[in-house]
A = this chain, B = another copy of it.
Amino acid sequence: MQRDGSATSYDVARAAGVSQSTVSRVFSPKAKVSEAVAQRVRDAAAQLGYRPNRLARAMITGRSRIVALVVAHFENPFYPDSFEHLALALQKEGYHVLTFMAADLGARTDEVIQELLDYRVEGLIMASVGLSNELTQAIAEAEIPVVMFNRVQDHQDISGVSSDNVAGGRAIAEHLLRTGHSRISYIAGWEGASTQRDREAGFLAGLADGGATLFSREVGDFHHDSAEKAARRMFAAPVHPDAVFVANDHMAFAVMDVLRHDLGLRIPEDVSVIGYDDVPTSAWKSYDLTTVRQPVRAMVDGAVRLLLERIAHPDAPAARIVLEGALIERGSVRRA
């Protein structure tokens, strides 16, 4: 009974006058038990408050039904939002989510991911976190499916879902040129991120195609405070840009606040600002930020699908999904 909290299948077996195997079968959907016995067992189980121990079940079946979710930090609301939908989608598929926050751990990340693997998770979703080469190797050897979310990884055996950041960067360049801007600048994110790299590459290519070049560039590292500083540096120059593409919305808010409240500039009359992600705050009237929308729901669905397919067919090759974003025009960019 509840000597130490919960009943075991043996307790139920004894109470129902059957064997432990039968109890087990009653709780395994595919196994067959006569309805009369099943009912007796279910009654006894309810009586004792018995539920199968998932750890024991995982041991024997080799399927823990746990997926690990690794996230760097939640400063940028894009990530908690994605996290929420990822967790819900996985829950709907009967998986439970072991979370690991990788914030500020640097090298220790590898170690803790090893710890996650010790739980025999069936798969791994990494959002906003890169993998070291050794770890990539370790994961490949453990033969555990991995999906990178909003990042691309070069290793051929790692799946990934992202939006087309190159196309998005290019669309932004085209939009700024089309609306008649001539001194166009860029505030970069953390240079180690593929999103940063791809958005900038597309943006520069788009400028080049339009016969323009970058007016100035600063690095904001995807953090609010760094972005504020980057904006101040950028606008300390004698001539300032008439448009700034900020590598994500979260930094763009910091930049807009500096421009308006520290420097007294009007947006978009004095300077246009454009972001990336389309987090909910971008639609708020205080910012009303033109941006490129990342299709979070579709990315989440894709990530979950890739992961589950890989779990079901471990020998299938890794796959990559790249979704289209969409330029959302709001009021932070001057019209032509």
**Chain A interface residues toward B at CB < 8 A:** 2, 4-6, 49, 51-56, 58-59, 62, 64, 66, 69, 73-75, 77, 79-81, 83-84, 87-88, 91, 96-101, 103, 112, 114-120, 138, 141-144, 224, 253-254, 256-258, 260-262, 280-281, 284-287
CB contact under 8 A between A101 and B88, given known A74-B83, A77-B80:
yes
Specify which chain B residues have a CB less than 8 angstroms from the CB of A6 in the assembled complex.
142
How far does the Cβ of A99 sit from chain B's closest Cβ, in whole Å?
Answer: 4
Q: A55–B83 Cα gap in the complex (Å)?
A: 25
Specify which chain B residues have a CB less than 8 angstroms from the CB of A64 in the assembled complex.
55
Selected contact of A280 from candidates B4, B91, B224, CB within 8 Å:
B224
**Are B115 and A87 in contact (CB-based, < 8 A)?**
no
| Nearest residue, chain B, Cβ from A51 | B118
How many monomers of this chain does the complex have? Answer: 2
Specify which chain B residues have a CB less than 8 angstroms from the CB of A55 in the assembled complex.
55, 58-59, 64, 119-120
**Are A101 and B118 in contact (CB-based, < 8 A)?**
no
**Are A98 and B101 in contact (CB-based, < 8 A)?**
no
Q: A225–B143 Cα gap in the complex (Å)?
A: 45
Specify which chain B residues have a CB less than 8 angstroms from the CB of A83 in the assembled complex.
74, 80
CB contact under 8 A between A97 and B96, given known A74-B80, A74-B84, A114-B51:
no
Specify which chain B residues have a CB less than 8 angstroms from the CB of A257 in the assembled complex.
284-286
Q: A88-B101, A256-B286, A262-B285 are in contact. List 19 more A-B contacts (CB 8 A).
A: A2-B141, A5-B143, A51-B114, A52-B118, A53-B120, A66-B119, A74-B80, A77-B77, A80-B83, A87-B101, A91-B100, A91-B101, A96-B98, A97-B100, A98-B98, A99-B99, A253-B284, A260-B285, A261-B286
Interface centre among A69, A80, A83 (most CB of B within 10 A): A80
